[in-house]
Structure 1
Amino acid sequence: MGVALFAALALLAQPVLTAAWTHDAVRFIADATALQQRAALLAAMSSAPSTIPSASLSASPSSASPADQAGGDAARLQWLADARTLLADVPFREAMPATVREDMLGAQQQVAAAALATAEELDRHLRIDIMVRIALFVVAAGGLLIGLRLRRALTGSAPEVSEEGPVHAGGDASLQLVERMLAALSGPMPGQKALEEVAQALVDTVPVRACGICLSDEASEFLQVPALFHAGTLGWAQLEHARGVVVSGPYEAFELPPVGVLADDVSAGYGVAVAIVEGREVFGHLFLVCDLLPEHPEHHARLAGLAARHLAVAIGHAQRTREGRRVALIEERTAMARELHDSLAQSLSFSKIQVSRLQAMLERGSEREAVAGAAEELRDGLNGAYRKLRELITTFRAQINVGGLTVALDEALEEYGARSSVVMLLDNRLKGCQLSANEEFHVVQIVREALSNIVRHARATQATVKLAPDTGGEIVISVEDDGLGIDPAADAHNRHGTSIMRERALSLGGALSIMNRPEGGCQVLVRFRPGTPFA
């Protein structure tokens, strides 16, 4: 029991130690993203052609007015000052320089490097934090179960009577309560069914008339569940009264008002409420209601506190998981902003040069073949820029589902199945594998791109998505169909988006292969080794 108590205390103390650092890291990434977007806007403004009367074209080259140039210089100086301020507040001071050079390119590189390093460190930090919490939770729950079983073996099944009052539930009932709560809260996010099961478990094992769980507006919105759950018999006015109880200490004792003069079937009662809290985050409160005033309300408060702690750990874990996915999404969009600046902007600048060259050739009356060649180069450049823009738009529209990989894959299959007559099947065997939010994001996008190709080009009747661990520690993702197959020559210009999928597979540290199946159809196969090894 001492080990379980120590693990429980460590579990309660850890959020206080890590919350401030996580908040600073997320704020730094968001500020760095905003700076990069401002830098891209300044670059676009500086490269835009100026509006100059045609009469002056022969007199001087195209240039911005002194007022515009002064405004642009002031904006760049302000950007550099903001970059220096941001980098001086990097969460990892020993790894990041405190100053930047007085040029936009050097500052942008240092801001991008700092944001990437912070995002990677935050991702590792969140994974380690989640694993430590799971380990502490298992140790605390295991120690409690072992302690309860030893207590039952030593004292027998008879109810224990102590100075604090009768333990009505007994060791066996307490063990049953813990087991039911652990089973109800074992999922990735506690939903309505899990919270109802916790309330019903308390009513079944503790001699109380009713149990209720009141969530804060933020917790209710995050979990996407109602703000109030209860099991047992309570009137509407009594529920509202219990919901309004403010817990200012370890527990709060309160008295319920009578329902009405004629409502003899639901009498007034007495209750205790405890806060559902993890660290400094308050998710609501849990209350127990008895018909008679308890002789020892602290006993009911201990049982309610046990359930409240389990609820707080489950809700906090779900919240941190969502935060990790949000950080992964910020990292993905930061990479997209870099890609916009480094690739799409370069392609459009090259196309502008080609247009000027083509115009000059037409004015000189160049040969038809030379003009046609320049037009062909311009068309190829614009086609490449258009493909890159479509890829970036697809990435920007994608969102990480808070329900995790399984929910995101189910939604993808349902979406593409509704667009066509193709039967979509999912075989997910990654139940024991813990992928990071970034890995889940790329896996979902690869599957979505493959399903999009099946719907548009394969003329298939059935598609199957398989995810399974390999004996060598790798994860294998397979998307198969029974359609026409793929012609490698037809995909020379990335008609099926294979370059997008290959880049995502490389970002996972893996490889992608596309092949025709002997029985007909096509198979897209991805193999990669996850960052967190699985058993």
Structure 2
Amino acid sequence: MYQLLLRTFLFERRRTLPSCSQRLLELPLRLLQQAGSDTPLLELLPLLRETLGAEAVTLLLPQANTVGWRRLGPGIECGCLRPGGESPMPGAVQLCRGCLAQGRFRAVGGLQVEEGRPALLLADFARQPDSSQHAALRDITRQLGEVLHAFAEERRSRRRELDAERGVLARELHDSVAQQLGYLQIRSCRLQAVLDDPRQRQEAGAMLDDLRNTLQVLHRQVRELISSARLTMDGRSLRQALEASVEEFSRCSRCVFSLDNRLPANQLPADGELQVLQIVREALANVVRHSHARQVWISLLPVGDGVEVEVRDDGVGLPAQLPPTGHFGLRIMQERAAAIGAELTIGPAASGGTCVRLRWGRP
């Protein structure tokens, strides 16, 4: 009878292991799909408990922007695990000495460090865990820690990307739209004075033309800013985002686009990737609108410790002198390059047309 029970127990343990391992493999995607929800982690805890043969499994995660733990699971309070107390290093497992002193058996696994604070996996046992349980807990701790650490890095990367883009958008609103609106306010007041004075009414037509032209420029600036604000990496790599952009512009023009991207993955930081994508898209938009080009070449190459990005076309090229208005996109590209410490040049291509070249060296 005892052997039958033992075989049944071992069979059940083997049956649950694949389920637990599979759920750990699926966890990153589930966390991304349910961003902000603890459901994927809460659904994982019963599987961990069964796999380990534990009475309870609990997660202690750092509270966002404050001191203290965010507890997932039914584990009892443990005084020696308060924030700031002694905790195992990430990937390590140890028995809680405070619980041992009270006759309880709690194994503590260090998961990862998020913003300088550890996250912990607690497993409560009816008796001291044996070597197989200790080894299983160590493997689970390592794998779960890697998942949570990578997910935390992804969240931080997205926050940095969003903060950088908000900063650029705020500067652009201040430097372009706000200034244009101030100018319109001044000119409208001046126009009212002209209309009130019969001796100056002949100036009204010229002033109305000026206001109309300024409003057209302002309208285009707002559309450019809205387009920029909507554009994000959206979880894609730079390579994927560039390929999608080239396909998008191919659909709305007769140009033939050639993309040569030789940059290794993660060559650029997240905020740099977004700015490079924005600059390339603005250059492509200018080609489609103004160049009358047939061929467009986009290249991204590693050069020494930096990168070189080039958008070149065989169109009509730039005018000898740019008009005082209507080149808002060129200025925005210059500002984006300056925001990441890169050098941007816009000029004639050697074989005709226009060449936009971005050079960015590592600091």
Question: Cα distance 1:402–1:322, how it changes in 2: closer, same or farther (>3 A)?
Answer: farther
Question: Cα distance 1:460–1:318, how it changes in 2: closer, same or farther (>3 A)?
Answer: farther
Cα distance between partner residues in 2 of 1:331 and 1:461: 35
**Letter paired with 1:521:** G
8 Å CA contact 2:257, 2:296 repeated in 1: yes
Question: Cα distance 1:385–1:483, how it changes in 2: closer, same or farther (>3 A)?
Answer: closer
The offset of 1:351, in angstroms, is: 1.4
Task: Look up the SS of the partner of 2:46 in the other structure.
Answer: coil
2:185 paired residue number? 352
Question: Cα distance 1:307–1:530, how it changes in 2: closer, same or farther (>3 A)?
Answer: farther
Cα distance between partner residues in 1 of 2:210 and 2:184: 9
The offset of 1:461, in angstroms, is: 3.8
**Letter paired with 2:156:** E
Q: Deviations over 1:327-358 (max 9, x none)?
A: 23123224423543565234323312322321
Question: Cα distance 1:303–1:492, how it changes in 2: closer, same or farther (>3 A)?
Answer: farther
> What is the aligned-residue RMSD (CA, Å)?
4.1
1:407 paired residue number? 240
Please, which of 312, 315, 319 is the counterpart of residue 483 of structure 1? 315
Question: Cα distance 1:435–1:351, how it changes in 2: closer, same or farther (>3 A)?
Answer: same
Q: Deviations over 1:156-184 (max 9, x none)?
A: xxxxxxxxxxxxxxxxxxxxxxxxxxxxx
Q: Deviations over 1:342-384 (max 9, x none)?
A: 6523432331232232122122213454333433443454344
Cα distance between partner residues in 1 of 2:320 and 2:110: 58
2:101 paired residue number? none
- Is the deviation greater in 330-339 or in 444-453? 330-339
Question: Cα distance 1:319–1:415, how it changes in 2: closer, same or farther (>3 A)?
Answer: farther
Q: TM-score, normalised by structure 2?
A: 0.62
- Is the deviation greater in 297-306 or in 435-444? 297-306
**Letter paired with 1:476:** E
Please, which of 270, 276, 284 is the counterpart of residue 451 of structure 1? 284
Task: Look up the SS of the partner of 1:497 in the other structure.
Answer: helix
**Letter paired with 1:497:** G
Please, which of 21, 24, 29 is the counterpart of residue 220 of structure 1? 29
Question: Cα distance 1:461–1:221, how it changes in 2: closer, same or farther (>3 A)?
Answer: farther
Please, which of 165, 175, 196 is the counterpart of residue 332 of structure 1? 165
8 Å CA contact 2:19, 2:47 repeated in 1: no
Cα distance between partner residues in 2 of 1:358 and 1:455: 37
Question: Cα distance 1:415–1:502, how it changes in 2: closer, same or farther (>3 A)?
Answer: same
Question: Cα distance 1:484–1:496, how it changes in 2: closer, same or farther (>3 A)?
Answer: farther
2:88 paired residue number? none
Cα distance between partner residues in 2 of 1:310 and 1:212: 9
- The answer for unaligned runs of 5 or more in structure 1 is 1-202, 226-241, 255-274, 284-295
Percent identical residues: 32
The offset of 1:224, in angstroms, is: 5.0
Please, which of 349, 355, 358 is the counterpart of residue 526 of structure 1? 358
**Letter paired with 2:344:** L
1:375 paired residue number? 208
Cα distance between partner residues in 1 of 2:340 and 2:45: 49
Please, which of 299, 316, 322 is the counterpart of residue 149 of structure 2? 316
8 Å CA contact 1:347, 1:381 repeated in 2: yes
**Letter paired with 2:296:** A
Please, which of 33, 46, 51 is the counterpart of residue 245 of structure 1? 46
**Letter paired with 1:446:** I
**Letter paired with 1:528:** W
Please, which of 501, 505, 508 is the counterpart of residue 333 of structure 2? 501
The offset of 1:216, in angstroms, is: 10
Matches within 5 A, 1:101-120: none
**Letter paired with 2:191:** L
Cα distance between partner residues in 2 of 1:307 and 1:488: 66
Task: Look up the SS of the partner of 2:135 in the other structure.
Answer: helix
The offset of 1:447, in angstroms, is: 0.7
> Could you say which structure has the higher strand fraction?
2
Matches within 5 A, 1:54-69: none
**Letter paired with 2:354:** C
**Letter paired with 2:29:** S
8 Å CA contact 2:250, 2:256 repeated in 1: yes
- The answer for unaligned runs of 5 or more in structure 2 is 1-13, 35-42, 56-108, 122-128
Q: TM-score, normalised by structure 1?
A: 0.44
Task: Look up the SS of the partner of 1:245 in the other structure.
Answer: helix
**Letter paired with 1:213:** Q
Cα distance between partner residues in 2 of 1:482 and 1:359: 48
8 Å CA contact 1:428, 1:468 repeated in 2: yes
1:512 paired residue number? 344
The offset of 1:501, in angstroms, is: 0.8
Task: Look up the SS of the partner of 1:475 in the other structure.
Answer: strand
The offset of 1:452, in angstroms, is: 1.5
Cα distance between partner residues in 1 of 2:143 and 2:209: 66
Task: Look up the SS of the partner of 1:526 in the other structure.
Answer: strand
Task: Look up the SS of the partner of 1:479 in the other structure.
Answer: strand
Please, which of 422, 440, 460 is the counterpart of residue 255 of structure 2? 422
Q: Deviations over 1:167-212 (max 9, x none)?
A: xxxxxxxxxxxxxxxxxxxxxxxxxxxxxxxxxxxx9xxxx98874
Question: Cα distance 1:511–1:491, how it changes in 2: closer, same or farther (>3 A)?
Answer: farther
8 Å CA contact 1:477, 1:527 repeated in 2: yes
Cα distance between partner residues in 1 of 2:153 and 2:265: 19
2:196 paired residue number? 363
Please, which of 297, 303, 322 is the counterpart of residue 470 of structure 1? 303
Q: Deviations over 1:2-31 (max 9, x none)?
A: xxxxxxxxxxxxxxxxxxxxxxxxxxxxxx
